[in-house]
């Protein structure tokens, strides 16, 4: 099955797109560790940077904001305090802004966009915050180092979703919690 998927993707990449000016579509050889490259991650990163620079960016954020609120509410349903949490693909802080000190002691906010990170709303006072530019497909954290990983509307842009889930499981402690919206 995987072999036929790779062949199909290679076939699609061999087709030439005509009459499209300024196309950002590029086909790259597949990484050996990744089953497929469906998304152009560099193009998505550029799009996030461009969107973050728009003067009315919050007008278009209503869905991300609502889903972020609902996901943060699920964090509150877990009746414990997480020492170290990761907001993976935090964007402009749609989950982070609802995190309270009773739930999380330290929050690491990660995104591929430095602009989004700088605009991200921080959690309430009392939560230690660290902001990092990180690709969701390459987590730089030590094994068994996080108590909670949350991700709001970010993981659907990942090419190697099973690999990303494996990395999330690697960085989570044995009793760690993973919550995501896609």
- Residue range 110-137, pLDDT digits in tens: 999 999 999 999 999 999 999 999 999 9
User: What is the residue extent of each domain of the chain?
Assistant: 1-38, 58-181
Asked whether the predicted pLDDT for residue 42 surpasses 50, the reply is yes
Residue 33 is predicted with a pLDDT of 59
Candidates 155, 151, 156; CA nearest to 178 is 151
DSSP code string of 156-172: GG-S-HHHHHHHHHHHE
Residue 34 is predicted with a pLDDT of 56
- Looking at residue 80, the DSSP 8-state letter turns out to be S
Average pLDDT over residues 11-31: 43
Instruction: Name the least confident of 44-53, 73-82, 137-146.
Output: 44-53
Alpha helix ranges (H) inside the chain: 2-14, 41-52, 62-77, 114-119, 161-171
Instruction: Name the least confident of 27-31, 74-78, 157-161.
Output: 27-31
Fold category of 58-181 in CATH: Rossmann fold (3.40.50)
- pLDDT, one tens digit per residue, over 68-81 is 999 999 999 999 99
Spatial distance between the Cα atoms of 93 and 80, rounded to a whole number of angstroms: 22
* pLDDT band with cut points at 50, 70 and 90 for residue 3: low
* pLDDT band with cut points at 50, 70 and 90 for residue 19: very low
Average pLDDT over residues 16-28: 39
Candidates 159, 167, 8; CA nearest to 86 is 167
Q: Regarding predicted confidence, which is higher, 77 or 15?
A: 77
pTM of the model: 0.76
Find all residues with CB under 8 Å of 42, minimum gap 6, and list them: none
* pLDDT band with cut points at 50, 70 and 90 for residue 17: very low
């Amino acid at each position: 099955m995987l072999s036929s998927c790779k062949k199909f993707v290679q076939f699609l990449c061999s087709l030439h797109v005509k009459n499209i000016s300024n196309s950002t579509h590029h086909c790259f050889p597949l990484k050996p560790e990744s089953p497929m490259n469906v998304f152009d991650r560099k193009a998505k990163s550029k799009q996030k940077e461009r969107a973050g620079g728009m003067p009315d960016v919050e007008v278009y954020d209503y869905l991300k904001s609502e889903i972020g609120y609902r996901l943060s509410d699920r964090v509150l349903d877990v009746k414990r305090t997480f020492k170290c949490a990761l907001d993976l693909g935090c964007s402009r802080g749609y989950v982070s802004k609802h995190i309270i000190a009773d739930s999380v002691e330290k929050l690491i906010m990660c995104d591929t966009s430095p602009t989004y990170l700088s605009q991200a709303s921080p959690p309430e006072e009392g939560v230690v915050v660290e902001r990092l530019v990180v690709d969701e497909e390459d987590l730089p954290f030590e094994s068994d180092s996080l108590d909670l990983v949350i991700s709001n509307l970010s993981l659907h842009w990942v090419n190697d979703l099973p690999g990303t889930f494996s990395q999330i499981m690697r960085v989570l402690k044995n009793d760690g919690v993973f919550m995501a919206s896609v």
